[in-house]
Amino acid sequence: MPKLTVLPHPQLCPEGAVIENAPRGESICRVLLDNHIELEHACELSCACTTCHVVVREGFDTLEEASDSEEDMLDRAWGLSSTSRLSCQARIADADLTVEIPKYTINHAKENH
């Protein structure tokens, strides 16, 4: 099974993390949540926001292409990069991945409270 490496994030994962045996076919977001990395996911993994945006630093080319819906959402993400994905939509394939969680997210529900 592939390995999912998470680069350090000041609040969510200060030391970074290495998740051995990440299940193939599972979304990056679900694997992070299942391993106690509390990535925001305001739309409950339905591709309707950008709070679970990650930048795939290694292994990007092994992921299935983003759907048009995901691409449309990503256009709204803070810190967009050419290897950005919504982690709720990007499913782990056969290769190891390294992801970076951006410093900020755009969460309209949270910002208004």
CB of 45 closer than 8 Å to CB of 30: yes
- Is pLDDT above 50 for 109? no
59: tokens are: 């292994």
Full residue range of the structural domain in which residue 76 is found: 4-111
Q: pLDDT value at position 88?
A: 96
pLDDT digits (tens, 9 = 90+) for 34-53: 999 999 998 989 999 999 99
The total number of structural domains in the chain stands at 1
Q: pLDDT value at position 104?
A: 76
Q: How far apart are CA 76 and CA 51, in angstroms?
A: 10
Sign of the alpha-carbon dihedral angle for 70, 72, 78, 80:
positive
CATH of the domain at 80: 3.10.20.30
Q: pLDDT value at position 107?
A: 60
pLDDT digits (tens, 9 = 90+) for 9-34: 999 999 999 999 999 999 999 999 99
- Residue 109 vs residue 47, higher pLDDT: 47
Instruction: Outline where 1-113 has alpha helix (H).
Output: 28-34, 68-74, 108-111
